[in-house]
């Protein structure tokens, strides 16, 4: 019997309608090109894609602002992430219990996301009411990528560790396209 390969992916890899509205067209076009390349390659390789829930959409809907990971790094958001991950973790358990039929290849997130970053997330001192501020330009610019996971994937990592599961994971990042493609092999 042929082993089926399974990959868990961030929600917006299959549904970009869940994403924060972005205004940097060039950046978005590069990410979209890689997303399409990756999804097409996964389908061609017969890899089954399982969609994780979107932790931000399920709290704030479609009109949310962009955030930094500092804003989500609190027990309430972490608890929300843990609850969302309960079902996917049970799915993983079931597939991993039958290695003769299934191989779980790992996880793909979205690098730079405050939630779904895997190798990189964004940090910055954002927060507070926007009205009356005169430093909005510098505040918006005061955000940078750092080499660590976003809050959702950080919680995922902890939950996997608690279960003794070791699985590959990486993030979709237009400037490093090959790392996500490697997961399909
Ligand atoms: S929170 Fe994750 S799944 Fe949701 S839009 Fe952002 S990167 Fe995509």
Count of domains in the chain? 1
- Please check the confidence at residue 138 and state whether its pLDDT lies above 90: no
Range of the domain at 71: 4-182
**pLDDT value at 140 more than 90:** no
**What is the Å distance from ligand 1's center to 147 Cα?**
18
pTM of the model as a whole: 0.96
SS (H, E, C) the chain: CCCEEEEEECHHHHCHHHCCCCCCHHHHHHHHHHHHHHHHHHHHCCCEEEECCCCCHHHHHHHCCCCCHHHHCCHHHHHHHHHHHHHHHHHHHHHHCCCCCEEEEEEEEECECCCCCCCCEEECCCCCCCCCCCCHHHHHHCCEEECCCCHHHHHHHHHHHHCCCCCCEEEECCCCHHHHHHCCC
* pLDDT number for residue 132: 87
163 pLDDT band (50/70/90 cuts)? very high
**pLDDT tens, residue by residue, 20-34:** 998 888 989 999 999
48-69 pLDDT, tens digit per residue, is 999 999 999 999 999 999 999 9
pLDDT band at 89 (very low <50, low <70, confident <90, very high): very high
Which residue owns the Cα nearest ligand 1 atom 2? 116
Pocket probe for ligand 1: among 116, 117, 171, the residue whose CB has the most ligand atoms within 8 Å is 116
């Amino acid at each position: 019997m042929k082993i089926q390969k399974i990959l868990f992916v961030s929600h917006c890899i299959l549904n970009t309608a869940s994403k924060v509205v972005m205004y940097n067209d060039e950046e978005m076009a590069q990410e979209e090109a890689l997303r399409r390349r990756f999804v097409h390659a996964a389908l061609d390789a017969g890899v089954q894609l399982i969609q994780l829930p979107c932790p931000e959409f399920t709290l704030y809907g479609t009109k949310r602002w962009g955030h930094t990971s500092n804003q989500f790094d609190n027990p309430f958001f972490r608890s929300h992430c843990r609850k969302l991950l309960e079902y996917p973790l049970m799915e993983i358990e079931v597939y991993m219990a039958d290695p003769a039929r299934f191989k779980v290849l790992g996880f793909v997130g979205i690098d730079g996301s405050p939630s779904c970053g895997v190798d990189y997330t964004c940090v910055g001192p954002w927060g507070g009411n926007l009205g009356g501020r005169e430093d909005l330009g510098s505040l918006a610019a005061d955000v940078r990528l750092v080499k660590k996971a976003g809050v959702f994937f950080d919680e995922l990592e902890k939950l996997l560790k608690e279960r003794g599961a070791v699985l590959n994971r990486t993030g979709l990042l237009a400037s490093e396209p090959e790392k996500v493609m490697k997961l399909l092999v």
